[in-house]
Amino acid sequence: MSFAHDFEATSLREYDIRGIVGKTLSAEDAFAIGRTFGSLVRRNGGKTLVVGYDGRLSSPMLEEALVKGALECGLDVTRVGRGPTPMLYYASATLDADGAIMVTGSHNPPNYNGFKMMLAGKPFFGAQIRELGDLSARGNVVAAEQGTVRTIDVRDDYVKRLVKDYDGGTRKLKIVWDNGNSSAGEVLEKMVAALPGEHIVLNAAIDGTFPAHHPDPTVAKNLEQLIAAVKDNHADLGIAFDGDADRIGLVDNKGEILWGDQILVLLARDVLKSHSGATIIADVKASQVLFDEVARAGGKPLMWRTGHSLIKSKMAETGSPLAGEMSGHIFFADKWYGFDDALYAGVRVLGIVARSTESLAAFREALPATLSTPEVRFDCDDHRKFKVIEEVAERLRKAGADVSEIDGVRVNTTDGWWLLRASNTQAVLVARAEGRDSAGLERLKDALVEQLEHSGLSKPDFSGNNAGH
């Protein structure tokens, strides 16, 4: 009997396995993932696997096939059912599981789905995913007696642990939550019932078709409903989630959006009160304001590569208590487990706002003002995109530019900075610039475009309002 199975090449991503259900992702793929990842767990000396799934219509089918594959290689599987991705991470940590897999399409359109994995408590990504694909193609899997399976409900324990770290006292805030029909549904309902204050929950029902709006809180359009509700209800703040609730969006009491790096400034100032001198990590797309504010608050700012798996690994390496990305992934190792959890980040934000004498809008308005482009993504062949970065970096080095090559090229000038990096997950280049004023921002954009043209690429579309930041 052959166990060889080939995955659609495009489904094997840098940080997860993901595809279009019925086209590039199937139940057969799910079974092969369970069987092959399970074999890696066994060869790593492990025996236990925790599995969860999100609210997408295809998730139960994929989860069932995944579990069957894992049982075939003798694993003892614990199913935690439907819920947010961080609940699966929580179960993995508290049950001391040898492996964990979440069936989730994250913030992608409804017809997508995928798998996020952990091995021995650490992110499973990059070369490991490529190895999984190779082992599956060769049918190189463990043969064993059928494993065991059990189902447990961790929702109540997870919620108790979430609210345990609420430190806002008894002050009653008014909060609007936009669940976005995400898989946080029932967990969010339980959590707000256990927190002080008045809570208004939008799009509470888990619905994998996402009828209200696309579940990505980094896109301003997707926050319009939340902004309107915050204003209509005169709320203190609004909090939004992506499809599997590992990324957070935040709106202040004036209905203005706080982006990922601004959220991290808020949280970093608080964490550094009890972790003076600690390393705070942010991805290369974050504002210079963040790094300056972390230093001003007594921390050591560390710029790192974009990607939740990369950030988590760097946190473990440096002992950082807090990290974040522009995409809204916030990682707490302070009191928490080091993984990205929008529900937990929300609880910590509430505590800060409740203890503060100023509003969230006042915090935002007091940050140094800059002007920035939106994150501009434009097509570039998968084989060409990394070569373009190499060409640009070489020219910048020869010119004596102040450039960081941690992830692509980030160039500092007296006007501010500009960034060009290759996406790890798509055939695109990503550009962004941040200036101290509009004239400086235009010069930064011109410098970026000049480098692209030297590499034979046309000017990307920077349209869309420059964001005050």
48 and 119 belong to one structural domain? yes
Q: What is the pLDDT of residues 222-269, one digit of tens each?
A: 999 999 999 999 999 999 999 999 999 999 999 999 999 999 999 999
203 and 316 belong to one structural domain? yes
Q: What is the pLDDT of residues 391-400, one digit of tens each?
A: 999 999 999 9
pLDDT at 425: 76
Q: What is the pLDDT of residues 278-335, one digit of tens each?
A: 999 999 999 999 999 999 999 999 999 999 899 999 999 999 999 999 999 999 999 9
Residue 87 clears pLDDT 90, i.e. is over it: yes
Q: Please indicate, yes or no, if residue 453 is contained in any of the structural domains.
A: yes
Q: What are phi and psi of 175, to 5 degrees?
A: -125, 135
pLDDT at 1: 53
Q: Which of 11, 59, 92, 106 is flagged as catalytic?
A: 106
Q: How confident is the model at residue 464 (pLDDT cuts 50, 70, 90)?
A: low
214 and 303 belong to one structural domain? yes
Q: What is the mean pLDDT of residues 102-121?
A: 95
Residue 40 clears pLDDT 70, i.e. is over it: yes
383 and 298 belong to one structural domain? no
Domain count across the chain: 3
Q: Please indicate, yes or no, if residue 2 is contained in any of the structural domains.
A: no
Domain of residue 297: give its range: 157-366
Q: Which of 350, 366, 382 lies at the terminal end of a domain, its last residue?
A: 366
Alpha-carbon distances, residue 346 vs 47, 56, 64, 256 (angstroms): 34, 23, 31, 17
Q: Please indicate, yes or no, if residue 1 is contained in any of the structural domains.
A: no
Q: What is the pLDDT of residues 348-404, one digit of tens each?
A: 999 999 999 999 999 999 999 999 998 898 999 988 999 999 999 999 999 999 999
Q: How far apart are CA 366 and CA 252, in angstroms?
A: 13
106 is catalytic: yes
Q: Which of 109, 127, 153 lies at the terminal end of a domain, its last residue?
A: 153
203: left (phi over 0), alpha (psi -120 to 50) or beta: left
Q: Which of 345, 366, 387 lies at the terminal end of a domain, its last residue?
A: 366
> pTM of whole model > 0.85?
yes
Q: Among positive and negative, which fits the CA dihedral 399, 401, 405, 408?
A: negative
Q: What is the CATH number of the domain that holds 85?
A: 3.40.120.10
